[in-house]
């Protein structure tokens, strides 16, 4: 910062604050943003696009946390549909985590390239279980196991409800090929849509002259594609999905299964990322899987961020102890106030690697502050918890009749115990059990669909960009990042009460 010529962005003050003093001990509630003149007439078209890694941008720079009370397949799917991304947690067996990823990867694209099939002769009972496990409502039936030759289609509506029919074969209920409307493998989306409308059908299997299966198009996927142009998708049109791995034990085996299931990015997530264990884990993954995108965390200092970049992270996750389910700071004294940590990390690595701010977001304004002080994306846990898409059941408080869901830190005793039951034993779990908990379980109000929360966040972020005087988040970041102190107003205790107490 050139101190001699320093002034606030609007020239209100010319005395530069001391940089270290400005940031030390500061977090989200310590600042407001100076409103800037805007020429934009509407906020609706404001872009909040931002980089997840150097090669992947998100239309909404929000990432759902890899916690067992936040992200499974349902949350990851919703996140990607809204332009963000979800990280499927690892507190479950390898097979189950991989199948959650596979559900997301299959759930939206105009053409499902490898639709799930069952062979003719399969009992209804098994087909029902198969549909439920894979989150699908229609199953292609092939003539024999592995033949890839279409025999018919069994939809939810064809599946009988009486238990007496459970052992009968799918053949008795499916629509046979002779009565199915099908498309050619290279059919256009428009033509497929026309056919589906004309015949009032929900699914269009794609087959060649020998009835070999080449894909499946569903009406829902076509509708979703049109409604959500900003959805996060890979080059084949499938929703993007990330997944977490650990840094020890079976992590390479887990990574292999997740990548096989289609995971686009892996998150190596450990409490103290600035460590030899992280370095070994990244080397192990790079050695086995080459350039697979890796988001590594967590760190809370500039030195930690530089370390992550230098060992080859594609994005650095910043945050030690700010999370709502965390007790790390209380139990160990380790941590750096979150906005300070984000700024330190950014000053250390600049734009050489994107920073993901993780934890401590209580209100939507915190997301904007994180993004203009150095983060490219923001990971949310509790802010997305309590929703329909978050794993776990809705519980009712018997006294107040209020509906609630559980939210818990991944090192809370409850999460550690459940992981142990679900994924069997491993070195990593033994280590977790040896370590006293640094997480806690709390009840949060039930909040319905996460969609309304994500729409609200997008709207508030667009408004913040407008107050920043620009029509893209990228432009505000470019203007503010070199010296946020010119744009931020430090708050006194009285100003904090004036701003936040309602
Ligand atoms: P928020 O504030 O969004 O934070 O709920 C989510 C982040 O909290 C971290 N996390 C933990 N940190 N002990 C910790 O110290 C834990 O048990 C724990 N579980 C989750 C994690 O980074 C998450 O994204």
pLDDT in tens, 75-105: 999 999 999 999 999 999 999 999 999 999 9
- Interacting residues of 488 by C-beta distance below 8 A, sequence separation 6+: 31, 32, 33, 34
Q: State residue 178's pLDDT score.
A: 95
Catalytic (active site) residue 117 = no
Q: State residue 74's pLDDT score.
A: 92
Q: State residue 423's pLDDT score.
A: 58
Question: Do strands 203-207 and 56-58 pair parallel, antiparallel, or not at all (unpaired)?
Answer: unpaired
Residue 418 has which token pair?
Answer: 């459940």
Q: Which atom of ligand 1 is nearest the CA belonging to 319?
A: 22
Terminal alpha carbon distance of the chain: 37
pTM of the model: 0.83
Q: State residue 343's pLDDT score.
A: 98
d(CA 322, CA 27): 10
168: region left, alpha or beta (phi > 0 left; psi from -120 to 50 alpha): beta
- Whole-angstrom CA distances from 32 to 27, 62, 88, 295, 486 are 11, 21, 34, 30, 12
Which helix (H) or strand (E) element contains residue 302? helix 302-310
Q: Which of 298, 337, 410 to mutate to test the pocket of ligand 1 (most atoms within 8 A of CB)?
A: 410
Query: Tokens 């459940």 map to which residue?
Result: 418
Spell out which residues line ligand 1, taking CB within 6 angstroms: 65, 67, 271, 298, 319, 321, 323-326, 328, 358-361, 379-383, 409-412, 438-439
Which helix (H) or strand (E) element contains residue 73? helix 73-81
Which positions of the chain have pLDDT values less than 70? 1-4, 108-110, 419-435
Residue 291 has which token pair?
Answer: 């350039």
């Amino acid at each position: 910062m050139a101190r001699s010529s320093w002034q606030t962005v609007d020239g209100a003050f010319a005395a530069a604050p001391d940089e270290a003093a400005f940031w030390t001990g500061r977090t989200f509630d310590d600042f407001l943003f100076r409103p800037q003149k805007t020429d934009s007439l509407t906020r609706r078209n404001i872009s909040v696009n931002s980089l997840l890694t150097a090669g992947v941008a998100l239309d909404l720079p929000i990432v759902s946390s890899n916690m067992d009370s936040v992200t499974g397949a349902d949350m990851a799917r919703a996140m990607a549909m809204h332009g963000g991304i979800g990280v499927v947690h690892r507190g479950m067996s390898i097979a189950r985590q991989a199948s959650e990823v596979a559900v997301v990867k299959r759930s939206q694209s105009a053409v499902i390239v490898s639709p799930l099939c069952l062979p003719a002769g399969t009992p209804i009972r098994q087909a029902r279980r198969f549909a439920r496990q894979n989150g699908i409502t229609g199953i292609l039936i092939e003539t024999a196991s592995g033949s890839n030759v279409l025999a018919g289609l069994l939809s939810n509506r064809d599946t009988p409800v009486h238990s007496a029919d459970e052992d009968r074969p799918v053949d008795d209920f499916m629509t046979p090929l002779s009565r199915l409307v099908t498309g050619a493998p290279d059919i256009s989306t428009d033509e497929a849509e026309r056919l589906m409308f004309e015949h009032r059908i929900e699914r269009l299997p794609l087959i060649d002259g020998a009835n070999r299966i080449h894909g499946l198009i569903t009406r829902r996927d076509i509708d979703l594609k049109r409604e959500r142009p900003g959805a996060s998708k890979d080059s084949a049109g499938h929703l993007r999905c990330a997944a977490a791995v650990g840094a020890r034990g079976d992590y390479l085996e887990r990574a292999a299964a997740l990548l096989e299931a289609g995971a686009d990015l892996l998150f190596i997530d450990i409490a103290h990322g600035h460590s030899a264990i992280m370095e070994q884990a990244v080397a192990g993954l790079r050695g086995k899987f080459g350039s697979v995108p890796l988001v590594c965390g967590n760190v809370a200092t500039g030195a930690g961020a530089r370390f992550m970049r230098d060992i080859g992270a594609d994005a650095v996750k910043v945050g030690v102890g700010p999370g709502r389910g965390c007790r790390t700071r209380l139990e160990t004294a380790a941590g750096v106030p979150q906005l300070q940590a984000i700024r330190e990390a950014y000053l250390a690595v600049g734009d050489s690697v994107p920073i993901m701010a993780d934890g401590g977001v209580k209100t939507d304004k915190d997301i904007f502050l994180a993004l203009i002080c150095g983060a490219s994306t923001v990971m949310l846990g509790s802010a997305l918890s309590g929703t329909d898409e978050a794993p776990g059941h809705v519980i009712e408080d018997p006294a107040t009749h209020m509906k609630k869901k559980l939210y818990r830190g991944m090192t809370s005793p409850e999460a550690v115990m459940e992981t142990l039951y679900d994924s069997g034993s491993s070195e990593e779990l033994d280590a977790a059990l040896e370590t006293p908990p640094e997480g806690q379980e709390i009840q949060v109000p039930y909040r319905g669909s996460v969609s309304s929360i994500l729409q609200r966040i997008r709207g508030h972020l667009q408004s913040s960009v407008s107050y920043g005087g620009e029509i893209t988040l990228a432009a505000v970041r470019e203007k503010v990042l070199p010296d946020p102190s010119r744009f931020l107003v430090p708050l006194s205790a009285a100003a904090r009460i004036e701003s936040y107490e309602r």
